[in-house]
Amino acid sequence: MPSRNGSVCVRLRSLSKLEDKERCVWKVEDHYVIHTDADNGRRDADIRRDTDARRSSTYTGDHVFGPESTNEQVYREAVEALVHDAVEGKNVTIMVYGQTGSGKTHTMGTPEAPGIIQRGLMDIFELIAEKEDRDFLLRFSFLEIYNENVTDLLSPEKVPKPLLIKEDRVVGPVVLGLSEEIVTCPEDVLRLLRQGEARRHVAASKMNERSNRSHTVSRMVLESRPAGCEVSTSTPVIVSNLVLVDLAGSESVAKTGAEGERLKESSCINKSLLALGEVVFKLSEGALAAGAHIPYRDSKLTRILKPSLGGNCKTMIICTVNPAARHTEESHRTLRFACRAKRVVNTVVVQEVMSETAAARWQAKALKELQRRRAEGMCVRLVDF
């Protein structure tokens, strides 16, 4: 039976140094995010007693975090279990959604403040090390969607060419020509992330000194098989995906002062987020079960995320909120999106495959590891593979 295998996390950040003169009109109370300036300035206690007003000024999520929360707390309480699921063979997607400057990049993680990405990577390799009964092969890819063009952030080309998306009947959307790197430790993935982030489109705006002008999707494919098993086309391989989506923030052109190229970027960002919102709305209304049309093809973002939205995947959407009064309407939109996303139904199963392609990848892994050990002067026993 299909079930709601998606979940929603809401994170309210504190006012920044640039906003210290702003009025803070949102707060977290228990599992609720409450707009404290609602209904013509009535006192919070009065609003909470009024059911209709509460519906319009109060939102909830599966996890709700206030300004005092840390990245570690968000990861441990909302995300850690999903990383475990990925290692166990279930598809997992984690995406951050919210207005520009609301704390998405901070939540995903930076070198100064490790977040979901860094903590998740460390946990993956620690969990794999504990599973002595299975061997793992990990592959990593990293793409960018900028002005509705999909490019490979790990491409060796100085100026990567736009890539096409093809629909495969078995695996769903496939980005043709997207490179994948075999990774064996957290440092491998962090190196690739730094390499890709350095090529990502960013720019300053009135709301953010370093505003992401594109969406990025990083994916780790986890394949595992019984330990010590001979590699062949009859060897069952469990395959799962851990997908991390760092969405560009929704923008008000009047507030960001976008013009020229920045205006074009803002238009593309808002259009793709609108398409995402429409897909989530359709799914929340039961369109998938009813066999109704779902507009995945309205943007490159929703085409690529199709397996994560209503498919075989556990999906966590982390909605970040700016508490300042002048961003109230944008915050309401983010929280309404969160409420709709909570109603999306996914069906999650462990995928097991047997194919020549899977066997070939395991042989390639063995060869790469053999070459690495020889280069480092390590003693190699073929039984290791």
pLDDT in tens, 310-334: 889 999 999 999 999 999 999 999 9
Query: What residues contact 242, with CB distance under 8 A and at least 6 apart?
Result: 83, 86, 92, 94, 120, 124, 219, 220, 222
Final residue of a structural domain among 318, 348, 367: 318
Residue 205 in domain: yes
- The secondary structure of residue 22, as a DSSP letter, is S
Predicted pLDDT at 255:
59
Same domain, 143 and 210: yes
Q: What is the pLDDT of residues 270-316, one digit of tens each?
A: 999 999 999 999 999 988 888 899 999 999 999 999 999 988 999 99
**Res. 52: pLDDT tops 80:** no
**Residue 20 maps to a domain:** no
Query: Is 118 annotated as contributing to ligand binding?
Result: no
Residues 200 and 273 in one domain: yes
Average of per-residue pLDDT across 357-362: 59
pLDDT digits (tens, 9 = 90+) for 164-185: 999 988 778 999 999 999 999 9
Indicate if 139 and 241 belong to the same structural domain.
Answer: yes
Q: What is the mean pLDDT of residues 223-252?
A: 84
Look at residue 233 and tell me if it is in a domain.
Answer: yes
* Residue 30, pLDDT score: 84
pTM: 0.85
Domain of residue 381 covers 356-385
pLDDT band at 380 (very low <50, low <70, confident <90, very high): very low
105 carries a ligand binding annotation: yes
Q: What is the mean pLDDT of residues 181-201?
A: 91
Which range has highest mean pLDDT (122-136, 260-274, 369-383)?
A: 122-136
32 band by pLDDT with thresholds 50, 70 and 90: very high
Q: Are residues 169 and 117 in the same domain?
A: yes
Same domain, 247 and 166: yes
Do 120 and 256 belong together in one domain? yes
What is the maximal distance between C-alpha atoms in the chain?
A: 75
Instruction: Consult the annotation and say whether 102 binds a ligand.
Output: yes
51 marked among binding-site residues: no
Average pLDDT over residues 28-57: 61
Residue 312 falls inside a structural domain: yes
**Predicted pLDDT of residue 75:** 97
Beta strands in the chain (DSSP E): 6-12, 26-29, 32-35, 58-60, 63-65, 92-98, 134-146, 149-152, 165-168, 172-175, 181-183, 202-203, 211-212, 215-226, 237-246, 314-321, 351-353
Q: Flag whether 4 is in a domain.
A: no
Question: In the prediction, which pLDDT does 43 show?
Answer: 43
Q: Which of 293, 318, 343 is the last residue of a domain?
A: 318
Fill in the DSSP letter of residue 310: S
160 and 307 part of one domain = yes
**Is 249 contained in some domain?**
yes
* 377 shares a domain with 283: no
Same domain, 148 and 214: yes
Question: Same structural domain for residues 108 and 247?
Answer: yes
The verdict on residue 380 lying in a domain is yes
Does 51 map to a domain? no
260 labelled as ligand-binding?
Answer: no
Same domain, 154 and 281: yes
Establish whether 300 is an annotated binding residue: no
Q: Are residues 369 and 285 in the same domain?
A: no
- Residue 175: is it exposed, middle or buried by C-beta count within 10 angstroms (0-12/13-18/19+)? buried
Number of domains in the chain: 2
End residue of a domain, out of 268, 294, 318? 318
